[in-house]
Structures are given as structure tokens and as C-alpha cells.
Amino acid sequence: MTNQDLPLTGRVAIVTGSARNIGRTIALRLAADGAAVVVNAVQDGAMADEVAHEISEAGGQAMAHVADVTNEEAVEKMVRMAMMAFGRIDIMVSNASVRGQVPIEEMSLEEWHRVLAVPLDGAFLLSKACIPHMKKNNWGRIVTLGGISAYIGTKNRAHLLAAKAGLVGFTRGIAAEVADHGITCNVVSPGHIDTDRPASAGIRPPLVVQPPVNRLGLPDEVAGMVRYLCLPEAAYITGQTMHVNGGLYMGV
């Protein structure tokens, strides 16, 4: 298969929080399918550069861009830079998030807003900036990253669960707005995934119930679902939440 035969050849993707873990794997998977990728990080520019370099070394196109997705000016600049570099935007994956563990009685309003802002404000600002470019091409894919905790509950993380649950409503809302323009919008909700966790995330909560597929998931298994939703054949899937959790939560 040549580069011209790859299913996302000619498409351009922005993947937020893609310097490491699930976001990094998503960026690499989309690039492997031919998409040019904007690798975003909030502060670790060196790691973002490494991911972009890995894509380039494999024969793909990529650029690293450091931007805080909760800052409207920074988001607009990132979109402008993507347009200058690649001439279009087709795919937006809103993966950036932050974790925290604080009991509700000890949680400050500042902490509440901090944790909500990255996934929710980030998805809003990126969608608002990217959708006009997708409309021009009458084609687009928006994928937001949710989480299983919003469905099964996890103590000391009310702010994060609220943010991830909010993404479901947000994604369904924009899915209804932009469907006439060939743009799909879906949520991918990972279960317990084997990733490197920063100290701020705290220890991984123990599983009270073991999933039928009794192991941690892999970042590549989440990236595979994101990748599928970005393909041309996924054009009839929108407003959905796709669970990747080994059967720990089977939906309703």
C-alpha cells in the first residue's frame, strides 16, 4: 500500500494532549493512516517534538505545538498554525485532560474549575475553532475522550466525573448541529488503561469489580477506536459513546 492508498491521506488532524500516553498513540495511529497531525501539549514541548519527529521519521507529516486548550487565544493560534502548515483541518481529537483526587468536602471551587476546564473548555474551544474549516470541506471528524468513571463512579473525583459526563452531552449537542455538513462527533470512553500516571493523578483506584477481559487495556486499543471513527466508512456513526473497557461497563 502506498501513502496515496492510505484511508486518511490528505486529511489533517489536531490531537490535544498527544505528547504521551493515549494521545500520543492516537496521533501515531492517525499518522500511520496518512493524516498530517498537529501534536499538542500544554507544556512538554520536548515530548511533543519527539512524537512529531517519530511521525516524520516514519514518512508522515506532523508538527508539534504547545498550547493551553483552556485559553481561547492559544487555541485559535494553534488552529491558524495548522492551517498555515497544512491548509486544512479535518479531524479534531479532544484528548487533553487533568486528574485530581480530592474529597468533595475538601474540594475548592478553584480545583473544581481547574479540572472541568481542560476537557470541557478544551473541547468547546477546539470545536468552535475547527468546525468552520470542516464545513468548508463538507467533511469532518470530532472525537472527545470520556472515561468509565463517569458511568460507574469513583470516589474523590467528582470534578473529573462531571467533566467527562459533560463531554457526552456536549458531543451529542454539536453532533446534531453539524451533521448536515458531513461532520461526525463521537465520544470514546476508555476503561482502565495501562498508562504512565503523573504524581498529581494519585494512585490508580483499585477495581472493585474485575472486567470480563481481566486486564488493563492498552493505549493502542483506545487509539484503534478513535482511528475507526475518523475513517470514511464511519460516516453514519455520530452522537455515540463508544466504550473501550473490557466489559467492565456494558452500557444501557
Rounded to whole angstroms, the Cα distance separating 220 from 99 reads 21
The pLDDT mean for the chain works out to 94
pLDDT band at 78 (very low <50, low <70, confident <90, very high): very high
What CATH number should be reported for the domain holding residue 12? 3.40.50.720
Neighbour-count burial for 14-39, b at 16+ CB within 10 Å, e otherwise = bbbbbbbbbbbbbbbbbbbbbbbbbb
251: in domain: no
Residue 39's alpha-carbon distances to 21, 94, 207, in angstroms, are 13, 12, 32
Among 35-39, 56-60, 107-111, 153-157, the minimum mean pLDDT is found in: 153-157
- Nearest C-alpha neighbor of 128 from the set 160, 94, 96: 94
Please state the rounded mean pLDDT for residues 111-130: 97
pTM of the entire predicted model: 0.94
252: in domain: no
Nearest 5°: the CA angle 96, 238, 139 is 85
Rounded to whole angstroms, the Cα distance separating 184 from 238 reads 5
43: in domain: yes
pLDDT of residue 126: 98
pLDDT of residue 1: 41
Which residues constitute the domain of residue 18? Answer: 3-244
Rounded to whole angstroms, the Cα distance separating 137 from 181 reads 8
Q: How many percent of the chain have pLDDT more than 90?
A: 88
Distance of CA 26 to the CA centre of its chain: 8
Of 100 and 183, more confident: 183
181: in domain: yes
Nearest 5°: the CA angle 217, 223, 227 is 145
Domain total in the chain: 1
Q: Which residues pair with 39 in a beta bridge?
A: 15, 64
Q: Which residues pair with 51 in a beta bridge?
A: none
Q: In this structure, are residues 126 and 69 in contact, taking their beta carbons and an 8 Å threshold?
A: yes
Give tens-digit pLDDT for 155-209.
999 999 999 999 999 999 999 999 999 999 999 999 999 988 555 555 556 666 7
Rounded to whole angstroms, the Cα distance separating 170 from 123 reads 8
150: in domain: yes
249: in domain: no
182: in domain: yes
